Chains A and B, each alone.
Chain A
Amino acid sequence: MTELLSPALWMVLGAVLIPLTRSHLRTAVIFSMPLLTLWSIWQIADGVAGTVSFLEYPIEPVEGSPVRRLFATVFTLMAFLGSLYAFKTAKWYELAAAFAYAAGAIGVCFAGDLITLFLYWELMAIFSTVIVWCGGTPGARAAGIRYAIMHLLGGVILKVGIEGVVISTGSIQIQPMLAHDFSTWMIMIGILINAAAPPVSAWLSDAYPESSATGAVFLSAFTTKTAVLALILLFPGEPILIGVGLYMIVYGIIYALLENDARRILAYSIVNQVGFMVCAVGIGTEMALNGAAAHAFAHIIYKALLFMSAGVVLYRTGKSRCTDLGGLFRTMPFTTSMGIIGALSISSFPLTSGFTTKSMISQAAVDENLFIVYMLLTAASAGVFLHAGIKFPWFVFFQKDSGLRPKDAPWNMGLAMGGCAFICILLGVAPNLIYELLPYPVDYQPYTTYKVLFYLQLLLFSGLAFFVLLPLMKRTQTISLDTDWLWRKLAARLLLVMESVAGVVKQRFDHLGVASTRAGNYLVLRYLGDPHAEDSEEKSVFSRSWTIGTTALWISVLLSTYVLANYL
């Protein structure tokens, strides 16, 4: 029976216990639950652990496989490091929501059927919204509502797809499929909404930067990467995903280049990095899927590290706009160096985790002879160094002296960043640690001299381009229009137009109402008359006093007609 209990339930227990405990006991709960979850994850064997019947469907709450364990491991690791980063400053309800959110992500990892997957999917949607709201500002409240609408809509689309697949195949199994009919398209769209794919990528950069300094660390880890896992499990080799991924890669770079808010730059670069993974799932070979899984693992850690360093800056200064920051390296050397390690990792610099994992995706494109895809991925690698690798640390920690002299990170935040940075470098120098956990056997050598030299040329010269083009990248206090303009502006305008049209129609009806009342009154007066007229002179046809003879005549006519009609 216990084998049917998902490791996610430890995190659910944690989410329940956090509000019920205080001080040291709460701290103990916060750190013990992820560790118990991690232990539990590695007890799960490959294959379905068991089946329970629900509404005549065979529900499989726990199914193990290497890729599922890999994602669950990194999610749990992130819950632990995120909690270490957050536990001293975050509100209890943010921590509880983060645990429930992580439970959703871990639950999806082990879901053996589509119904279980959907339930955990919605758990993520609900509690990630709470984390956005924990930002505490009016902006966070509004962004949280938009975020919730987007994710609940995605959930509905996913559910429609699941229902369709269940009806057409009679199976709720999670198994590879291609988007070939309405139902499978709906499932893929539902998942892609969570992956921040076009045309709705804007939800991510809208919501994440509104969260608190600690909340963004949790948000950056789970939703999009759970979507990547779902794509690996359900749509490996779906060719549309290559195009979708490439679009996300370019979109992320361009918008990050335009952006002024440091945390929004990082949000755009999540879309960019998830684009690499989506593209890899689209390529669909063993090398590509290994690359997607490994890159997701590495990405979760270095992206959390970047959000942590930006979070420390926000926590210490209350600012996150590049125009307000700069020169922080003087008093925040540790946070600066952690930010730089994260930035180098995301740029896939040799000796970091980004290099050993992302280059697998490029290799997969080479193996499949996808020339344009390879060239675009390579260009994107240069672009990542440009927008995240240099732009983020340069504008936040260096550039001009903003005059801000904040203290460096508190010990717990420093320790969490140190842990992430350690993993980034460890996976860069000892990639076999991650390669051994991947779904397929790895036959790939990341460190060949010519490959290292090629990437050094590519990245260092894109760095040169950054400094040469610095005058073109002067920060402005602006935001960039995105597709969310459609629902934040156009939809609001349309609503106003509809309201005014409805107003005009109502006015017309009101006029018509007045006219018909008048006509009615006239008819009443004309035929029924006014019995209370002052002079008692009854003018109307039916109000007149008729003589008895006339009345008798009318009655006899009516009766004769009735008798005639009865006999005819």
Chain B
Amino acid sequence: MNQQDNNHWLVRASTIRLLWIGGSIVLGLTVVAQIFIPIKGHFGADDWFGFGAAYGFVVCLLMVVFAKGLGFVLKRKEDFYDAGEEIDGSVNGAEDSGDHSGDDA
């Protein structure tokens, strides 16, 4: 059964290649269409050809890179708060015993 499921048409390499090709064509068309349907910018700065496409791609790139960078500072193991309580628990166990942020959510 699993074997069959793993061959689901959507996950076959050929389908994925087709999806990439189809997706790229659609992306290209949305930009080319701007030749026929001029997009009116609101402020001048957003008036140039392919602005929506470039802006969408670039801000997403920046957000992912920013989040990745921030992740180095902010990311902690899932049991970060629980682990802290265990250490604290040796001194102050009674007060903290209820505070286990659930990694089983």
A320 touches B65 (CB 8 A): no
CA distance A464 to B59 in the complex (A): 12
A458 interface hit (Cβ, 8 Å) = yes
CA distance A320 to B102 in the complex (A): 12
CA distance A260 to B80 in the complex (A): 15
B71 touches A480 (CB 8 A): yes
Q: A371-B45, A379-B59, A460-B56 are in contact. Are A137 and B67 (CB under 8 A)?
A: no
CA distance A142 to B71 in the complex (A): 25
Q: A401-B11, A458-B56, A473-B64 are in contact. Are A263 and B105 (CB under 8 A)?
A: yes
A258 touches B52 (CB 8 A): no
A450 interface hit (Cβ, 8 Å) = yes
Residues of B within 8 A of A553 (CB): none
Interface stretch, picked from A418-426, A428-436, A489-497, is: A489-497
B105 touches A261 (CB 8 A): yes
Q: A458-B55, A460-B30 are in contact. Are A495 and B92 (CB under 8 A)?
A: yes
Residues of A within 8 A of B101 (CB): 139, 142-143, 206, 210, 479, 488
List residues 140-157 of chain A with CB under 8 A from any CB of chain B.
140-143, 145
What are the interface flags for A252-286 relative to B under an 8 Å C-beta threshold, 1 for contact and 0 otherwise? 01100110110110000000000000000000000
What are the interface flags for B36-75 relative to A under an 8 Å C-beta threshold, 1 for contact and 0 otherwise? 0111101101100011111111011101111110110111
B49 vs chain A, min Cβ distance (A): 11
What are the interface flags for A279-322 relative to B under an 8 Å C-beta threshold, 1 for contact and 0 otherwise? 00000000000000000000000000000000000000000100
B84 vs chain A, min Cβ distance (A): 6
CA distance A461 to B51 in the complex (A): 11
CA distance A455 to B31 in the complex (A): 11
Q: A453-B37, A465-B64 are in contact. Are A480 and B59 (CB under 8 A)?
A: no
Q: A138-B98, A450-B37 are in contact. Are A464 and B55 (CB under 8 A)?
A: no
What are the interface flags for A230-261 relative to B under an 8 Å C-beta threshold, 1 for contact and 0 otherwise? 00000000000000000000000110011011
A489 touches B105 (CB 8 A): no
B71 touches A139 (CB 8 A): no
B54 vs chain A, min Cβ distance (A): 7
Q: A460-B27, A489-B84 are in contact. Are A481 and B100 (CB under 8 A)?
A: no
A329 interface hit (Cβ, 8 Å) = yes
Q: A138-B100, A139-B105, A366-B42 are in contact. Are A378 and B27 (CB under 8 A)?
A: no
Residues of B within 8 A of A461 (CB): 27, 30, 52-54, 56-57, 60
B36 vs chain A, min Cβ distance (A): 9
A457 touches B30 (CB 8 A): yes
B17 interface hit (Cβ, 8 Å) = no
Number of interface residues of B (CB under 8 A): 64
B105 touches A209 (CB 8 A): yes
Residues of B within 8 A of A482 (CB): 74
Residues of A within 8 A of B30 (CB): 453, 456-457, 460-461
Contact partner of A462 among B10, B56, B84, CB < 8 A? B56
A330 touches B42 (CB 8 A): no
A477 touches B77 (CB 8 A): yes
Q: Is the contact region of chain B dominated by helix, strand, or loop, or is it mixed?
A: helix
Contact partner of A138 among B27, B91, B102, CB < 8 A? B102
A476 interface hit (Cβ, 8 Å) = yes
CA distance A548 to B28 in the complex (A): 125
B99 touches A457 (CB 8 A): no
B74 touches A383 (CB 8 A): no
B29 vs chain A, min Cβ distance (A): 9
Closest to B95 in A: A495
B76 touches A492 (CB 8 A): no
Residues of A within 8 A of B76 (CB): 478-481
A323 vs chain B, min Cβ distance (A): 10
Residues of B within 8 A of A480 (CB): 71, 74-76
A464 touches B23 (CB 8 A): yes
B85 vs chain A, min Cβ distance (A): 8
A454 interface hit (Cβ, 8 Å) = yes
B8 touches A258 (CB 8 A): no
A492 touches B96 (CB 8 A): yes
CA distance A490 to B70 in the complex (A): 20
List residues 204-232 of chain A with CB under 8 A from any CB of chain B.
206, 209-210
Q: A137-B105, A210-B105 are in contact. Are A386 and B63 (CB under 8 A)?
A: yes
B67 touches A320 (CB 8 A): no
Residues of B within 8 A of A450 (CB): 37-40
Contact partner of A320 among B45, B77, B105, CB < 8 A? B105
A374 interface hit (Cβ, 8 Å) = yes
B67 touches A258 (CB 8 A): yes
Q: A263-B105, A366-B42, A453-B39 are in contact. Are A142 and B99 (CB under 8 A)?
A: yes
CA distance A477 to B46 in the complex (A): 39
A69 vs chain B, min Cβ distance (A): 33
Contact partner of B81 among A374, A449, A489, A493, CB < 8 A? A489
CA distance A261 to B42 in the complex (A): 38
Q: A374-B42, A489-B81 are in contact. Are A382 and B26 (CB under 8 A)?
A: no
Closest to A474 in B: B68
CA distance A504 to B54 in the complex (A): 63
A253 touches B54 (CB 8 A): no
B88 interface hit (Cβ, 8 Å) = yes
Closest to B54 in A: A461
Contact partner of A375 among B27, B46, B52, B80, CB < 8 A? B46
B33 interface hit (Cβ, 8 Å) = yes
Contact partner of A257 among B1, B2, B63, CB < 8 A? B63
Please give 19 more A-B residue pairs, beta carbons under 8 A apart, in addition to A382-B55, A462-B60, A479-B80.
A139-B102, A258-B70, A260-B78, A371-B43, A379-B55, A383-B59, A386-B60, A386-B63, A401-B11, A405-B5, A457-B39, A457-B53, A460-B26, A462-B57, A464-B57, A465-B56, A472-B64, A478-B71, A478-B78
**In the complex, the 10 A-B pairs of residues with the closest C-beta atoms, listed nearest first:** A139-B102, A457-B52, A465-B60, A461-B56, A458-B56, A257-B67, A379-B59, A478-B75, A457-B53, A461-B57
